Amino acid sequence: MKFIHLTDTHVVGSGLLYGQDPAERLAEAVTSINAEHSDAEFVIVTGDMTHWGDADAYARFANEITKLKIPFDLMVGNHDDTPALMHAFPDLPRDENGFVQQVIDTARGRFLLLDTKAPEGHAGAYCDKRCDWLARQLEALGAVFLFMHHPPFEVGIKSMDAIMMHDAEAFHEVISPHTSRIRHLFFGHVHRAIWGTWRGISYSCMRGLNHQVALDLDAPAERINGNFEPPAYGVVLLGDDQVTVHLHDFADRSQSFLL
């Protein structure tokens, strides 16, 4: 099974963001996916579709993402606005409490798309109602893949660790009985390519499309250093006993040659 992990598109309604047009980057990513990976089952966008959460930005995002030749599923991040998102995508699944969460049952296991948006601020949250929903979805047997915007752990960049998911212990209490079945955790938010393990669970994060967070492990928490490292999306291959995540620098224009 093959699918695409796309995150942090940060589209704006008009003008530029840090001197670039995020919608153009999204258009380039969609063109790449259609040309190179149209055999994938779907695309999962792990949040921050827009930068300001305004209607015009969601309209621009929708105009580009709907050009995909394969299905896509959307999740919310700290830069998103749920009412504006639902206005642009009224059929987007939500749970019984209105959170943008859903279950996708596939031939390779159960995909759980989680809503980690807090009522205020940029840090993530996962309240009791969301934990109860997650616990029920984990009752089904079989492999599980988790998708979220905020990581529930520190990554070593102080500014991003300050705005990780703050309900990490409550979240882990729910998933810990199922650790052996959780095959991977996918997230965004950090705007960097990161791989590792957390309490026995493997994870990966992809770069954003418009701008990245610099790898500065010494910067203080109150300062987020950014840069324009190349945008990327993840190409994920799932087998019976393996999860492979390729980072695709789709905007790379370097020379191609035989080795």
Q: What is the pLDDT of residues 217-247, one digit of tens each?
A: 999 999 999 999 999 999 999 999 999 999 9
Lay out the sheet containing 102-106: strands in order across: 102-106, 109-113, 144-148, 182-187, 201-205, 194-198
Give residue-wise pLDDT tens across range 16-67. Answer: 999 999 999 999 999 999 999 999 999 999 999 999 999 999 999 999 999 9
Whole-angstrom distance between the N-terminal and C-terminal Cα of the chain? 28
Residues 162 and 221 sit within 8 Å (Cβ to Cβ): yes
Q: 140 is written with which tokens?
A: 């089904």
3-class secondary-structure state, position 128: helix
Confidence of residue 160 (pLDDT cuts 50, 70, 90): very high
**Phi and psi at residue 103, to the nearest 5°:** -115, 135
pLDDT for 196 equals: 98
How confident is the model over 81-102, as a mean pLDDT? Answer: 97
Q: What is the mean pLDDT of the chain?
A: 97
Of the chain, the percentage scoring pLDDT greater than 90 comes to 100
Give residue-wise pLDDT tens across range 96-129. Answer: 999 999 999 999 999 999 999 999 999 999 999 9
pLDDT for 176 equals: 98
Handedness of CA 131, 137, 139, 145 (dihedral sign): negative
How confident is the model over 204-214, as a mean pLDDT? Answer: 98
How confident is the model over 140-147, as a mean pLDDT? Answer: 97
What string of DSSP letters covers 186-206?
EE-SS-S-EEEEETTEEEEE-
pTM of the model: 0.97
Q: Tell how strand 109-113 and strand 144-148 pair up.
A: parallel
Confidence of residue 149 (pLDDT cuts 50, 70, 90): very high
pLDDT for 111 equals: 98
Within the chain, what is the greatest distance between any pair of CA atoms? 55
pLDDT for 85 equals: 98
